[in-house]
Amino acid sequence: MKSTARIVTNKIESLFPTSRTKKLHRKPPGEVPGKAVHTGEQRLENVLITVHDFDEEHFDTISINKIEKSEPFLQDKSKTWIQVMGLHDIDKLKSVWEYFDLHPLVQEDIVSVSQRPKVEHYENIIFIVMRLIKPVSDQNEKVSLHTEQISIVLGENYVLSFQESDDPIFDPILKRLEQKSTRLRKYGPDYLAYALMDTIVDYYFQALDLLGDSIEKVEEQILGSPGGEHLQVIHSLRRDMIYLRKSVWSLRDGVNALIRDDSHLMTDEVKIFLRDVYDHIVQVIDSIETNREMVIGLFDMYMSGLSNKMNEVMKVLTIIATIFIPLTFIAGIYGMNFDPEISPYNMPELGWYYGYPISIVVMILVTAGLVFFFKKKEWL
Amino acid sequence: MKSTARIVTNKIESLFPTSRTKKLHRKPPGEVPGKAVHTGEQRLENVLITVHDFDEEHFDTISINKIEKSEPFLQDKSKTWIQVMGLHDIDKLKSVWEYFDLHPLVQEDIVSVSQRPKVEHYENIIFIVMRLIKPVSDQNEKVSLHTEQISIVLGENYVLSFQESDDPIFDPILKRLEQKSTRLRKYGPDYLAYALMDTIVDYYFQALDLLGDSIEKVEEQILGSPGGEHLQVIHSLRRDMIYLRKSVWSLRDGVNALIRDDSHLMTDEVKIFLRDVYDHIVQVIDSIETNREMVIGLFDMYMSGLSNKMNEVMKVLTIIATIFIPLTFIAGIYGMNFDPEISPYNMPELGWYYGYPISIVVMILVTAGLVFFFKKKEWL
Amino acid sequence: MKSTARIVTNKIESLFPTSRTKKLHRKPPGEVPGKAVHTGEQRLENVLITVHDFDEEHFDTISINKIEKSEPFLQDKSKTWIQVMGLHDIDKLKSVWEYFDLHPLVQEDIVSVSQRPKVEHYENIIFIVMRLIKPVSDQNEKVSLHTEQISIVLGENYVLSFQESDDPIFDPILKRLEQKSTRLRKYGPDYLAYALMDTIVDYYFQALDLLGDSIEKVEEQILGSPGGEHLQVIHSLRRDMIYLRKSVWSLRDGVNALIRDDSHLMTDEVKIFLRDVYDHIVQVIDSIETNREMVIGLFDMYMSGLSNKMNEVMKVLTIIATIFIPLTFIAGIYGMNFDPEISPYNMPELGWYYGYPISIVVMILVTAGLVFFFKKKEWL
Amino acid sequence: MKSTARIVTNKIESLFPTSRTKKLHRKPPGEVPGKAVHTGEQRLENVLITVHDFDEEHFDTISINKIEKSEPFLQDKSKTWIQVMGLHDIDKLKSVWEYFDLHPLVQEDIVSVSQRPKVEHYENIIFIVMRLIKPVSDQNEKVSLHTEQISIVLGENYVLSFQESDDPIFDPILKRLEQKSTRLRKYGPDYLAYALMDTIVDYYFQALDLLGDSIEKVEEQILGSPGGEHLQVIHSLRRDMIYLRKSVWSLRDGVNALIRDDSHLMTDEVKIFLRDVYDHIVQVIDSIETNREMVIGLFDMYMSGLSNKMNEVMKVLTIIATIFIPLTFIAGIYGMNFDPEISPYNMPELGWYYGYPISIVVMILVTAGLVFFFKKKEWL
Amino acid sequence: MKSTARIVTNKIESLFPTSRTKKLHRKPPGEVPGKAVHTGEQRLENVLITVHDFDEEHFDTISINKIEKSEPFLQDKSKTWIQVMGLHDIDKLKSVWEYFDLHPLVQEDIVSVSQRPKVEHYENIIFIVMRLIKPVSDQNEKVSLHTEQISIVLGENYVLSFQESDDPIFDPILKRLEQKSTRLRKYGPDYLAYALMDTIVDYYFQALDLLGDSIEKVEEQILGSPGGEHLQVIHSLRRDMIYLRKSVWSLRDGVNALIRDDSHLMTDEVKIFLRDVYDHIVQVIDSIETNREMVIGLFDMYMSGLSNKMNEVMKVLTIIATIFIPLTFIAGIYGMNFDPEISPYNMPELGWYYGYPISIVVMILVTAGLVFFFKKKEWL
């Protein structure tokens, strides 16, 4: 984890490399709603469609080109998970959507990739939008947070999942599907939808740990010696935290509604598991709030640390100045040119036998007095 | 977008050119309520009334002078949209209102143009007030936010829309109406009302992008070198954000009530689309909140950046002063006029062969010592 | 409006001249509740009782001394508004109260003039307490906010209104009552009660405009040159805003309850108008909140403006000092009294042909160097 | 009221002399709940039990030693108020509690004197805990806030009141009981319970006035000349305000529940009066919130006042320094020892006839120039 | 308690020694939910299982190795409490869980020790997770807060409790169980569950007292003399307070739900006691909020105290400098080398009989004047 902190403080950039420049892309005002326009970047060459068909007895995975090829899987009694990767090829996606007769607004939301997370009930499906936030490290061990929108459509006997890239986030689920007599194989498609949601929520914990690490590292550095660069780091952390909160916050109400609502698509058995997801989301939100308070605390610490440091500088420097000013004055006195020969009152000290040593002693005494005074005042 | 940032930081003015001077115009206290008084500026020479009549088969648009001319359109089974532009000619408007038998309070609200957004149910109509916020650029590419009040009256088989200027905001809707077999042509007037609302909400996203750009630009500048002018920019952004929030906030509850309430004027099919509008409003509010936090963060950054900058100035200057003060003292010592001829103790250094060079060396050593001390303390 | 701003910034006092010294007057602890004690100042010589009797056919106004004289008006089918001005003569008021059989707590609340606004249902009446806030200008055109408590009792066929002074706030209503076939004449006493409330709420808009003006004026001044006096103005504005909010806030819930509750005293027709009042109250509260944020923003601006100003002072002064310190040192060097005759190393410069000019040139070079350095650092 | 302010600013201590050192006394963890342990200080020698028996016809007061002696009063149809003062003698209290068969948790709460205010329904009683806050002045006219816990048990035909000291807070109630045909004598025990609550709430207004006075006094002082001692006063006021809020806040919900809940112990007639108490509690809470904002405002004012004051000091002092630094430099120049006899370029000024006067004039001009510059910059 | 404060200010570390480094341990994303993985440290060598069987007649305690040995106790009609200490040996725990047929998610939560507190209903059990926070002192009397997760499972006739260490927190309960005819022995297992919860809540009060002590100590120190170390202490206190709040906050809703929900496992009699626990939790949360405000107040005090202190330093030092600067200037004047022999205008003072004494007197007068000026301005 060392690398994380190093990045944060050296390169001083947001952990979300893509979040800053992202606009709230929307269709032009007045355009027909439900018109699907992909608002993200293309991350894959082709849209990949994979069909996973399974029940307690079997588990098959095939890649298909045309959605019609999934027909046999959907017809039989087994459960089918159609995993779509890549959102740039609207035509291909459209064939999938129309095959499943998805509402135009669902189509629009799937490819409009800066949605807030939500759970929506349509006539015969439940539509779930979530934001994946996942720590990734590049070749320089630089850790950043990869983020993409993931949409899940839960139907009678199928689950559709849409994601922007081919990031293998759901591979652990596939591995579990391979094993017989797991809950995934036994339960209905609602359990699969739950499992996908659970996986995404699990990544939030990793992202939070990463952010927590950064905060603690910065905290230590600021307590040590606050510098101008920390201002930017703190601002960046604040930004990340706001982004993270926005990505998770509305999910809580969505999942809660899912638990409370009556929908034949979601069984009571799976709702107990959803309650667990809900719990984790609340925990994530709690942690985000805690971290936000910490970041605000960081700023306070930074400001007062800076203030402390400046005060120290000013104090030492001013003390030096203050000690020498009276001394210089004394030296100035005996640099005056009053003529001692005209009267005995004119600077007789200049003619004393011990004049110079005495003046030096006086200066030493003044210095000692000031130092003593400063010490008493605890300024030294 | 370059122009935006330039404006913000050079001219330092609100993006809402009209928002500051606008009072909360109201009828004089005690006056009869429901008395229509136009509280905005006149933006058009004449009030324009356009009738759009359409159903699945036809789409006709005519400009009329007297509202009675719309009679035939309203009589038949087709849907009719009467678009009114300009709110200054109360008499003409009154003829429209009375033709449709609008409640006096609705009449008052249509021309009282600093309403908060709202959705109100009357006996046989739904009355919707919204605030358009739309980026416009003038001939110098200066971008500002144009804002006006738009009222929508949804009746049994008609929609009335009232706007202050003849800004062609709803032209894309007209274009879509021209196309056969669109939802607009097929669905009832409630879908048209939805489409108008959707269009206005879409503009909010553009306005937010503009504001987001400004914030980011200012942020970069402040991180670079905070200056006095930024104080004003930040204050102005804060103001804009408050205005924007006020313009959108209460719309959320209004649309939500529209979705939940039972009114035969709003069909379930269209409510699904309204849910989408609701979603976008929430997203807009989220973004406003995020931006507000960002602006507060900007102020903190500004203050501490300023403080940092001042500290740097003070430090360098004080260091110079501190180094020279002891040196000046030493020079002062040997400027004293004690008489070396009276005793060997009186400033014998003046008579040394290497007196002067030694004093110079001492000064160099003192300087070196102080510089070393400052370096060790990391003040240099 | 010039006068307003002048007052605010020169005299630096609250716009509510009476709000500061007002205590939360209450009966002594343990005293019997419902005991009417007037807690305000006497503003009139005598308590004035005026009876306005009206229906669609007639409108009569008479001043009476004894409440019994209103008997004939209350007996007939017409609607009666009894307007009471002045709250100091408890005996006279008591005769009114007892005539209408008001609950002791209603009696107490009418004369206890620092109530929070509220709407209360009693067995056969609705009792409404509001706070009038109205801009008034004195002979010097000094504008301040006059405030008094106004209580309204809505009965079966009558309305009672109680106010502290004889301020003619309800005169516009009287004028409207004189006109035949107005809603006021046609509708029941509930519409009259609504009209009274509407009038009071209308004044809030005027008060808000006044406060908004003050804030903008102060804003401009602070952006120009922040001074010590602004601190007091800001504090005073904050105070006024809190007072204003307290005066309006709880009214919202009261009016909302009035709209939602079932009471035969309030008809559905009038409730539509009450909804309008509710809307205006929400708008007022919104504006108060906006203004409060503005005032907080003002304080931030003030603090950083002050800081900016001080920084400028310090910078210029310190730069002057820093330039002269090295120069003085050089002059100090050549003021030393090392004896050049003893050795050629002792200050040979003093004996150079161009010694003095060279030293002057060195000083000029040092100055130029420092100025160049400061310029490069952008401190000059 | 002068004394109050004096105390606040000179002695700088909380108005709640006892609040700081008070711990959250609780039984040791794991101990049996409902075990009565007195957690306050003993304030009386003996626990005093007084029985007040009354109905419309009679009113008797007797002091008793054993609770059994109250038997005859409780048996008859009259209403009985048993007033218990002093909470340290658990045995004696226990006899009372067991006589009335109080739930162990009620017993624990009565003597555990740092409860939050609450209203609880038990099977046959209503149990009310409130905190008395009452201004008292000692012999030096020093005003502080006396605070103790008061518990009220409302039964079928009796009221029990428990208080820590023998403070005669309820004496006005006793006086009112002596008078025939008052509501207190006519209504049931629920009205007596209400009267006791009302009395306690009335004291809050006095306490708030006292705190308001302190705040205003400090405000004036800070606007005049902010000093280090104010920091402590403000912190103390903040603390008092938090304590006050904690003492009242939860009472609101309690009384509200009492009004809404159906309990045969509380009649509708008395509920109207309770609504009045509720109203007062809300008013108290409002005032506390207002005062809290004021105290926060005080801190801001203090900080900026301090900053203003320091700035003024720094400015004047630095100006003096800045003026003399160039002058000293000029004097330093002509204190140099370049030998004018060696060349005509070496300090020829020293040999001028008007050399000294000219140098003095130059110094005066420099001073005048700097003063003029400072004036122009408005730093003087 | 002296030791506490000493620790806080000398060692400057969090009272929660373990809270900082704790990550939000979670299963890897995508892993099967309900898979029990212990996320804490091992604190015991072996997992200890103790069975307490009791009813009104008997109370037996035995340690068992295999959960099957508890069979006879669970079969009979008596109530059984199975206390499990140590959570690292999943296999052994699994045998317990499976014996009682606990839901996989319950299993996961028991050993996943950074849960937020919660109360969950399953088909036949109620599952309660709480966080113990308990002050402990080590051999050096250093006090810190020990924290561990405690899970309680309430079944038909049994209670399971799981804790991480063998800390004897429930020993007082065991002692009470030994005594006949206590409520613990008489009531059902729901009362035992309540008693366990009550014990844990009681510890919160001790923890709060400890934190309150720390805050007050720091407060006093800061009012005395704020130093750099306090910054860290305040930050640490803030952190502790956030941690504490997170540990208690969600418990409130959980217990509230337990009181309101209908579950045959929780009788009405015990719900009255639960209401008491609820009350204490609210009190704890209130205190945490109060303490948080206090800590924020501390930071304000710290900042302004620091500012005050610095101001004092700067003032004294600058005053010294300011007094000597004019004096040095005067001395500089008479150190100039204008030749008095060339003209009578050239520094005639040097040749005066009382020249030197006069110059000294002038210097004394200047000093006196400046001191007088400073005194008048109250800077001295």
Domain annotation for chain D: domains and CATH numbers: 2-305 (3.30.460.20), 309-376 (1.20.58.340)
D304 touches chain E (CB under 8 A): no
Subunits touching D (CB < 8 Å, at least 3 pairs)? Answer: C, E
Tell me, what's the pLDDT at D14?
65
Contact B321 C319 (CB under 8 A): no
Contact D338 C332 (CB under 8 A): no
- Rounded to whole angstroms, the Cα distance separating C208 from C201 reads 11
Q: Which regions in chain D score pLDDT beneath 70?
A: 1-14, 16-26
Tell me, what's the pLDDT at E340?
83
Distances (CA, A) of B152 to B47, B62, B114: 16, 19, 15
Buried b (16+ CB within 10 A) or exposed e, B34-63: bebebbbeeeeeebbbbbbbbeeeebeeee
Report yes or no: A172 and A180 within 8 Å, Cβ to Cβ.
no
Tell me: ipTM over 0.85: no
- Rounded to whole angstroms, the Cα distance separating D140 from C314 reads 49
pLDDT bucket at C1, cuts 50 / 70 / 90: very low
Tokens of C379: 């401190």
Tell me, what's the pLDDT at C222?
86
Q: What angle do CA C328, C334, C340 make, to 5 degrees?
A: 170
A200 touches chain E (CB under 8 A): yes
Which range (B251-265, D173-187, E64-78, E236-250) has the least confidence? E64-78
**Contact residues, B window 359-378, toward A, CB-based 8 Å cutoff:** 377-378
- What HEC string does chain C produce? CHHHHHHHHHCCCCCCCCCCCCCCCCCCCCCCCCCCCCCCCCCCCCCEEEEEEECCCCEEEEEECCHHHHHHHHHCCCEEEEEEECCCCHHHHHHHHHHCCCCHHHHHHHHCCCCCCEEEECCCCEEEEEEEEEEEECCCCCEEEEEEEEEEEECCCEEEEEECCCCCCCHHHHHHHHCCCCHHHHCCHHHHHHHHHHHHHHHHHHHHHHHHHHHHHHHHHHHHCCCHHHHHHHHHHHHHHHHHHHHHHHHHHHHHHHHHCCCCCCCHHHHHHHHHHHHHHHHHHHHHHHHHHHHHHHHHHHHHHHHHHHHHHHHHHHHHHHHHHHHHHHHHHCCCCCCCCCCCCCCHHHHCCCHHHHHHHHHHHHHHHHHHHHHHCCCC
Of A271-280, B340-349, C211-220, E351-360, the range with the highest mean pLDDT is A271-280
Mean pLDDT value of segment C220-249: 85
Our CA-based measurement puts residue B29 at a distance from the nearest CA of chain A, in whole angstroms, of: 40
**Helix B228-260 vs helix C268-333: angle between axes, to the nearest 10 degrees?**
160
C329 touches chain B (CB under 8 A): yes
pLDDT bucket at C255, cuts 50 / 70 / 90: very high
Contact D30 E172 (CB under 8 A): yes
Tell me, what's the pLDDT at C14?
65
Subunits touching E (CB < 8 Å, at least 3 pairs)? Answer: A, D
pLDDT in tens, E173-187: 999 999 888 889 999
* Pairs of CB atoms within 8 A across A/E: 170
- Rounded to whole angstroms, the Cα distance separating C20 from C238 reads 13
Among A273, A294, A338, the strongest candidate for a mutation testing the E interface, having the largest count of E CBs within 10 A, is A338
Among B302, B328, B334, the residue with its CB nearest the CB of C338 is B334
Contact C231 D202 (CB under 8 A): no
SS3 at position A207: helix
Among B134, B208, B321, the residue with its CB nearest the CB of A24 is B208
**Nearest 10 degrees: Cα torsion A256, A261, A266, A269:** 70
pLDDT tens digit at each of 380 positions of chain A: 333 333 333 334 567 665 544 555 567 787 777 777 777 778 888 899 999 999 888 899 999 988 888 888 888 788 999 999 999 889 899 999 999 999 999 999 998 888 889 999 998 899 999 999 998 887 777 788 888 999 999 999 899 999 999 889 999 999 999 988 888 999 999 999 999 999 999 999 989 988 888 888 888 888 877 877 888 888 888 888 888 888 899 899 999 999 998 888 999 999 999 999 999 999 999 999 988 888 888 888 888 888 887 787 778 778 888 889 889 999 999 888 888 888 888 888 888 888 888 999 999 999 999 999 888 887 77
pLDDT bucket at B13, cuts 50 / 70 / 90: low
Nearest residue of chain E to residue A179 (CA atoms): E32
**Contact residues, B window 58-77, toward A, CB-based 8 Å cutoff:** none
Helix (H) or strand (E) holding A315: helix A268-333
Among B170, B179, B205, the strongest candidate for a mutation testing the A interface, having the largest count of A CBs within 10 A, is B205
Contact C242 D293 (CB under 8 A): yes
Contact A171 E30 (CB under 8 A): yes
**Contact residues, C window 137-196, toward D, CB-based 8 Å cutoff:** none
**Alpha helix stretches (DSSP H) within chain D:** 2-6, 71-75, 90-99, 104-111, 171-178, 183-186, 189-224, 228-260, 268-333, 355-376
Contact C336 D337 (CB under 8 A): yes
Buried b (16+ CB within 10 A) or exposed e, E44-63: eeebbbbbbbbeeeebeeee
Helix (H) or strand (E) holding A34: none
Our CA-based measurement puts residue A283 at a distance from the nearest CA of chain B, in whole angstroms, of: 21
Residue C119 predicted with pLDDT over 70: yes
CA proximity to D165, closest of D41, D15, D62: D41
Nearest residue of chain A to residue E108 (CA atoms): A276
**Contact residues, B window 80-99, toward A, CB-based 8 Å cutoff:** none
Which residues of chain E does D317 touch, with a Cβ-Cβ cutoff of 8 Å? 318-319, 321-322
Tell me, what's the pLDDT at E100?
92
Tell me, what's the pLDDT at C18?
52
pLDDT bucket at C25, cuts 50 / 70 / 90: low
Contact B304 A30 (CB under 8 A): no
Tell me, what's the pLDDT at B18?
52
- What global pTM score does this model have? 0.84
Our CA-based measurement puts residue D39 at a distance from the nearest CA of chain C, in whole angstroms, of: 27
